[in-house]
């Protein structure tokens, strides 16, 4: 396995086009996963660009995903591979920027599902796994109604107190995305999205941004470009998202989550500001200007 320094020297910031998912391997898939396995393999070529860690930090390959273990087990992982079959990180190696206000979004949880999937930020190459608590798999109490995942190359710094959001500190994770398009994505899909709004969720005192976005391949993508457009063309959606994330822990006996910024969704410009700031925090993390703690930088 490569050292962290070697891995950092071979990161990439290639601009990816469209939504893509790659080949998936496993032994005996359950029936409900048939849709994932029946999809025809496809990959999108990435245009190599430079990344801050090294002038020669280039990738020339496509991205694929590989499943290990069975879904809804403790061993299940979805790894990301480059075209040569080497492991890469969906958090660190998938580029954030596509260009012209468009960003890559890594799908962790497809809409209309309840398994709480997430990148394993403390494991090498940060594969997607199902979250656990006290050794048991975690599920939301009800299905999530939107595609949910992360913005790569972002990080909510737990040492930074945001004066605009009640002085809350970052939650030590990548920034979350709630994608409101009509298509149900798959675990490990990477979609090109444009941000529309931002919700400042405060979860047990930690700031946990939710960027509301839409995939560019959605039929209504051209109609929505800011928070007011969401209310016009997706009426009630912003309220539904806020209420879902406010209340999802209540069935487990926990208090409702709070929201900063007046309990309202901020506009697109504010969402872009959040993305820029958290990308800068991730850059400091990768340069080891701030402590990584248990986070994997591979």
Query: For 163, which DSSP code?
Result: T
User: Half-sphere exposure of 239 toward its Cβ, with a 13 Å CA cutoff?
Assistant: 5
CA dist 207 and 201 (Å) reads 6
Q: Please name the residue that has the structure tokens 């920034």.
A: 175
Contact 63, 16 (CB under 8 A): yes
Catalytic residue (choose from 59, 76, 139, 140): 140
| DSSP H/E element including 83 | none
Distances in whole angstroms, Cα of residue 133 to Cα of each of 171, 252, 293: 17, 12, 20
Give the strand pairing for 206-215 and 175-179: parallel
Contacts of 266 (CB under 8 A, 6+ apart): 197, 198, 199, 200, 227
CA dist 61 and 45 (Å) reads 7
Tokens of 180: 């409101």
Tokens of 267: 């506009």
Q: Please name the residue that has the structure tokens 């960003």.
A: 103
Of the candidates 119, 118, 103, the residue with the CA atom closest to the CA atom of residue 215: 103
Residue 140 annotated among the catalytic residues of the structure:
yes
Would you name the residues annotated as active-site residues?
Answer: 140
């Amino acid at each position: 396995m490569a050292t962290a320094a070697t891995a950092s020297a071979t990161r990439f910031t290639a601009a990816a086009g469209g939504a893509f998912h790659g080949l998936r391997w496993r032994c005996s898939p359950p029936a409900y996963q048939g849709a994932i396995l029946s999809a025809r393999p496809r990959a999108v070529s990435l245009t190599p660009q430079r990344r801050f860690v090294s002038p020669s930090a280039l990738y020339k390959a496509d991205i694929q995903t590989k499943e290990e273990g069975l879904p809804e087990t403790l061993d299940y992982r979805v790894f990301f591979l480059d075209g040569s079959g080497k492991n890469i990180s969906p958090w660190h190696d998938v580029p954030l920027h596509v260009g012209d206000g468009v960003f890559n979004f890594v799908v962790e949880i497809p809409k209309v599902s309840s398994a709480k999937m997430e990148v394993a930020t403390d494991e090498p190459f940060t594969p997607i796994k199902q979250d656990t608590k006290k050794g048991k798999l975690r599920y939301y109490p009800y299905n999530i109604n939107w595609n949910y995942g992360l913005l790569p190359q972002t990080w909510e710094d737990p040492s930074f107190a945001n004066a605009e959001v009640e002085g809350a500190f970052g939650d030590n994770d990548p920034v979350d995305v709630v994608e409101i398009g009509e298509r149900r994505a798959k675990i490990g899909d990477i979609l090109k999205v444009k941000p529309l709004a931002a919700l400042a969720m405060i979860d047990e005192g930690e700031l946990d941004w939710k960027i509301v976005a839409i995939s560019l391949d959605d039929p209504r993508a051209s109609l929505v470009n800011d928070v007011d457009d969401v209310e016009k063309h997706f009426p009630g959606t912003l309220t539904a998202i806020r209420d879902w994330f406010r209340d999802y822990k209540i069935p487990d006996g926990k208090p409702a989550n709070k929201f900063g910024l007046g309990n309202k969704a901020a506009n697109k410009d504010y969402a872009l500001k959040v993305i820029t700031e958290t990308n800068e925090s991730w850059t400091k993390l990768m340069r080891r200007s701030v402590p990584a703690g248990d986070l994997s930088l591979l």
